[in-house]
């Protein structure tokens, strides 16, 4: 089984991935593939730099390159997180037993989660204000075939999860309720 995860910044993609990992799924992230490339090239790994590098990789090797690289690493049931281009999503859907899951939440709640995550992990802030956060997110909604087209990928999902529950436990119950029929 392959579960692709697409979602807005701070929506809870990692929470869904962790839930599936606890069920025995291997976890892969297209963002981690970009981070590995950034390490090889000695580049910064802030969100803007990562977006730029991902776009460059797509231009150089094709818009589905990140999914191709991820699929080469799949061993058994796997969740692939951070899908942001429709060609990546299409390639995933061509695989047997694949489902594309969207994750979203209220923008203000997502911003608050990102700020809290940055404080708890010590990661540098991608956005200093809510306005910066909205502008950063807009960079993921382009029409460029080689760039992030998050809005288009979200329209392609088989199942949408809204992470406005208020607690991780309630969100886990919603994940289980909505995702379990697809995993049987």
Q: Give CA 22 to chain center in angstroms.
A: 18
pTM of the model: 0.91
Q: What is the pLDDT of residue 82?
A: 93
Low-confidence ranges of the chain (pLDDT < 70): 122-126
> Is there a contact between 176 and 23 (Cβ–Cβ < 8 Å)?
no
Domain range list for the chain: 2-175
Please give the structure tokens belonging to residue 52.
């730029």
Q: What is the pLDDT of residue 67?
A: 98
Q: What is the pLDDT of residue 123?
A: 64
Q: What is the pLDDT of residue 46?
A: 84
Q: What is the pLDDT of residue 138?
A: 86
Q: What is the pLDDT of residue 124?
A: 61
Residue with tokens 């997502």: 110
The highest-level CATH class for domain 2-175 is alpha beta
- Choose among 30, 3, 33, 31: nearest CA to 18: 3
Q: What is the pLDDT of residue 146?
A: 86
Element (H, E) at 162: strand 159-162
Q: What is the pLDDT of residue 136?
A: 85
């Amino acid at each position: 089984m392959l579960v692709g995860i697409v979602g807005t910044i701070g929506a809870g993609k990692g929470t869904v991935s962790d839930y599936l990992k606890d069920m025995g799924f291997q976890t892969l992230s297209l963002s981690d593939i970009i981070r590995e490339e950034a390490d090889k090239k000695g580049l910064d790994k802030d969100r803007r730099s990562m977006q730029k590098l991902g776009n460059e990789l797509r231009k150089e090797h094709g818009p589905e390159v990140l999914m191709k690289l991820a699929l080469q690493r799949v061993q058994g049931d796997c969740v692939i997180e951070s899908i942001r281009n429709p060609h990546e999503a299409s390639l995933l859907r061509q695989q047997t037993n694949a489902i594309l899951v969207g994750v979203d939440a209220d923008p203000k709640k997502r911003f608050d989660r990102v700020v809290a995550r940055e404080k708890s992990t010590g990661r540098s802030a991608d956005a200093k204000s809510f306005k910066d956060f909205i502008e950063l997110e807009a960079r993921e909604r382009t029409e460029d075939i080689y760039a992030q087209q998050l809005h288009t990928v979200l329209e392609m999902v088989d199942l949408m999860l809204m992470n406005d529950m208020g607690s991780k436990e309630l969100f886990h119950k919603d994940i289980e309720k909505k995702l379990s029929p697809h995993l049987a």
